[in-house]
Structure 1
Amino acid sequence: MEVRQCRALNCHKLVELPHYYCDEHRELEAAYLQSRMKWSHSHDKQYAKRYDKTKRVATPIKREQHKFYKSKQWQDLRTVVLNKQHYLCQYCLTEGRVTQGNTIDHTIPINFDPTKKDDVNNLNVICPECHRLKTDWEYKHY
């Protein structure tokens, strides 16, 4: 069973996928799905292509990393970690909060130690807020 946190403000209930809201806030789901469709139709694939060329694969090292993240090996590792950690942000859990996450983060960045890129013990589920804070910290310290 895959779960995520209810999107309602200050609601921390977990809901089963594919829903975005718990039973208490389910009436908000239709409007949310409509706004997602509107956004996706307004952002064309050219945006992603431009971003990929200027940011994601700008250097040979970034190109190799991008290639790794598109590989079957990474997809399998990602699935193992998500299932093992139940889609819950490990950084929030250490502070006593339960937050749904679906991003996999390298505890020790692969820019710093490329040998740990496929080490399951170096991977954690992380929520967007923790990922932003950790990335900012990494830029300062690495």
Structure 2
Amino acid sequence: MLDTSTKENRKDFYNSRAWRKLRLEALARDNFECQWCKKEGRLSNNINAALEVDHIMELEYYPELALELDNLRTLCKACHNKRHERFEFRGKSKEKVKYRADEWWG
């Protein structure tokens, strides 16, 4: 079974050929649209949209579902950040960026 217990192992997973291939399949299946925005009637499938593929059942806790297409959904960066309760820096706001380093992939 895939070991996703450490940040380094998750980073290795997100850099793997298997993940990159499956990620593209999920994006194509979802028509390169954020599924949450789509559900709310917002359009997010433009060429400049930052789309990310989210594990519905989180990788860290459900490694057996890491490469299951049915466990993936396309989210825009904003929705993915909301889903994981991350912050983004907003202008003069004092909000800080809070991201998990192991979830940054290209």
- The whole-number CA distance in structure 2 between the counterparts of 1:127 and 1:133 is 10
- The whole-number CA distance in structure 2 between the counterparts of 1:92 and 1:112 is 26
2:77 aligned partner, one-letter code = P
TM alignment of 1:2-41, pairs within 5 A: none
Structure 2, unmatched stretches of 5+, are: 87-106
Aligned mate of 2:32, from 84, 87, 106: 87
More helix by share: 1
**Runs of at least 4 residues off by over 3 Å:** none
| TM-score (norm: length of structure 2) | 0.67
| TM-score (norm: length of structure 1) | 0.51
CA RMSD of aligned residues (A): 1.6
Among the aligned pairs, what percent are the same residue? 28
- How many residue pairs are counted as aligned between the two chains? 78
Structure 1, unmatched stretches of 5+, are: 1-59, 138-142
Aligned mate of 2:65, from 98, 111, 116: 116
What is the aligned partner in structure 2 of residue 27 from structure 1? none
Does 1:65 pair with 2:10?
yes
Deviations 1:19-38 (A, max 9, x none): xxxxxxxxxxxxxxxxxxxx
